[in-house]
């Protein structure tokens, strides 16, 4: 059954078509002119309009344009006594579903209406299917992203476009797990975003359900929040701002996207934990040699393209074996951890500090030439020399270090050669006075063969 609007200035036609269509099971409203048609359309919802082309106070084309502009989804069938091609072409181009020439048998009109409505329903199903496919694809893109920046971009874009949001803000649980931070937005001015972040964090603290947020000083009348859950743990909140009431399936759409966002956040956390196991030294929590080689490959490639220098510092703790022999390996391990902290405190955040093995460390100084690297190495040497290790435990142990310096591209232009030269420079100091910094040179004596063939043990036995 369909709700139909019949527009025809001839009473006989209105009665004929109206009675037949009513008998066929449709609800029919019949009016004589354009003004009446517009009034009826504003008062009721119709599935289709049947209009004569020639009407008092206008014509059927005006009715067709009015329906197309204001009532999408309502089909229009045009009937006329004009047996000409031009009006038919004009009507079809303007969006008419059918064009029938009088005399029109009631059966033919009813058949045309059914065909138009069936086509409309198929188009709606196709559009719905396309929307569902697009939603599934968006969810898949979000769920399979393991890069935090790309994830926030994909999630915010999908929520903005597929939920028809005017603006979006994503709040993620911060690494400490004690609160939330903003990580991704769309459509928010920077000053408004900065003002909203603390308000939303306070409002959503402890919230595990979707909320309608009132009282915010924003230019949109509707603000909704949706939690991203992993079991009982809230991983984040998606906050959506709307100009008007959300569409019929808004909650389902947003819920699906937010569930995939939560899945990605959970996977990202697990991936980070696996990466931590793969690339971080168990004892010192510095990066390990596996990560060092990975980052050195990247740094060399980037430096070759940008011609930006970088440097390596190769460090070995002097006479560390004596600490192990005197105080035991547990104390030795704590000294290695404290040495790592001291070393980290002497370099910048972008620089990479790795435990090479045993009592050896390697520092990658990004964007630093040999002159700058020499200054950093000397700062590390002096800091190590004056530091009292395990002073809080009453031991106040003293340590010094030998440091070898090699720079790209000054001393070498590949990873292995650069590591070897920095190692040779460090070893030159070990064979001399110790507690010294040496710059790489091509004529430095090679390190012992067994040192190059066998990686240092994890518990340092350095001399």
Say which residue the tokens 């992203």 belong to.
145
What's residue 209's pLDDT?
93
Parallel, antiparallel or unpaired: strands 3-7 and 48-52: parallel
How do 401-408 and 310-317 pair as beta strands? antiparallel
Residues 60 and 53 sit within 8 Å (Cβ to Cβ): yes
Asked whether 444 and 431 are in contact (CB, 8 A), the reply is: no
pLDDT at position 340, please? 96
Task: State residue 336's pLDDT score.
Answer: 96
Q: What is the pLDDT of residue 126?
A: 79
- pLDDT digit string, tens, across residues 130-170: 878 888 888 889 998 888 889 999 999 999 999 999 999 99
CA distance 125 to 131: 10
pLDDT of residue 451: 55
Handedness of CA 410, 412, 414, 419 (dihedral sign): negative
- Residue 213 pLDDT: 94
Say what the pLDDT of residue 348 is: 94
Q: Say how far apart CA 96 and CA 65 lie, in whole Å.
A: 9
Contact of 318 with 435, CB cutoff 8 Å: yes
Q: Radius of gyration (Cα) for the chain, nearest Å? A: 38
Angle 238-243-249 from CA coordinates, rounded to 5°:
60
Which residues have a Cβ under 8 Å from the Cβ of 406 and sit 6 or more positions away? 311, 312, 314, 412, 418, 419, 421, 422, 425, 439, 440
Rounded to whole angstroms, the Cα distance separating 265 from 87 reads 59
pLDDT, residue 175, reads 73
pLDDT in tens, 66-90: 999 999 889 999 888 777 788 888 8
Residues in contact with 375: Cβ distance below 8 Å, sequence separation at least 6, in sequence order:
none
State pLDDT tens for residues 192-233.
999 999 999 999 988 899 999 998 999 999 999 999 999 889
Task: Give the per-residue pLDDT at 339.
Answer: 96
Residue 189, pLDDT score = 93
* Burial class of residue 229 (count of CB atoms within 10 Å of its CB; 0-12, 13-18, 19+): middle
Tell me, what's the pLDDT at 438? 95
* Dist. CA 114–CA 229, nearest whole Å: 47
User: Which pLDDT score, from 0 to 100, does residue 276 have?
Assistant: 66
Which residues of the chain are modeled with pLDDT < 50? 459-461
């Amino acid at each position: 059954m369909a709700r139909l609007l019949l527009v025809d200035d001839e009473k006989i036609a209105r009665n004929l078509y109206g009675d037949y269509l009513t008998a066929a099971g449709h609800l029919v409203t019949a009016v004589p002119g354009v003004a009446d048609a517009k009034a009826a359309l504003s008062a009721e919802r119709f599935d289709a309009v049947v209009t004569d082309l020639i009407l008092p106070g206008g014509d059927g084309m005006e009715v067709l344009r009015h329906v197309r502009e204001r009532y999408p989804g309502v089909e229009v069938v045009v009937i006329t006594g004009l047996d000409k091609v031009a009006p038919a072409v004009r009507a079809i181009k303007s969006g008419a579903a059918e064009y029938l020439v009088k005399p029109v048998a009631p059966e033919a009109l009813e058949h045309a209406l059914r065909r138009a409505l069936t086509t409309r329903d198929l188009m709606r199903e196709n559009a719905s299917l396309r929307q569902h496919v697009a939603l599934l694809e968006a969810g898949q893109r979000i769920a399979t992203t393991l890069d935090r920046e790309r994830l926030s971009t994909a999630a915010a874009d999908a929520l903005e476009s597929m939920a028809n949001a005017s603006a979006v803000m994503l709040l993620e649980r911060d690494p400490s797990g004690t609160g939330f931070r903003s990580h991704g937005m769309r459509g928010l001015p920077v000053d408004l975003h900065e003002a909203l972040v603390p308000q939303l964090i306070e409002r959503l603290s402890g919230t595990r359900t979707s909320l309608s947020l009132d009282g915010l000083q924003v230019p949109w009348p509707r603000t909704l929040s949706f939690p991203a859950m992993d079991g009982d743990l809230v991983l984040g909140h998606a906050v959506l701002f709307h100009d008007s009431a959300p569409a019929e399936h808004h909650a389902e759409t947003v819920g699906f996207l937010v569930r995939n966002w939560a899945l990605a956040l959970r996977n990202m956390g697990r991936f980070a934990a696996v990466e931590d196991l793969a690339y971080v030294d168990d004892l010192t929590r510095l990066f390990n040699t596996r990560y060092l080689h990975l980052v050195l490959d990247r740094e060399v490639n980037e430096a070759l393209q940008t011609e930006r220098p970088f440097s390596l510092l190769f460090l070995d703790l002097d006479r560390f074996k004596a600490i192990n022999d005197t105080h035991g390996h547990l104390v030795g391990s704590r000294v290695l951890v404290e040495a790592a902290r001291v070393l980290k405190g002497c370099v910048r955040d972008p620089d990479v500090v790795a435990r090479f093995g045993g009592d050896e460390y390697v520092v990658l100084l990004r964007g630093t030439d040999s002159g700058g690297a020499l200054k950093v190495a000397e700062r590390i040497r002096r800091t190590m020399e004056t530091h009292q290790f395990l002073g809080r435990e009453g031991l106040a142990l003293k340590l010094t270090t030998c440091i070898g310096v090699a720079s790209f591209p000054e001393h070498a232009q590949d990873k292995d050669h650069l590591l070897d030269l920095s190692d040779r420079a460090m070893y030159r100091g070990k064979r001399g006075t110790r507690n010294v910094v040496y710059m790489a040179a091509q004529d430095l004596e090679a390190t012992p063969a067994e040192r190059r063939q066998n990686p240092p043990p994890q518990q340092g036995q350095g001399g």
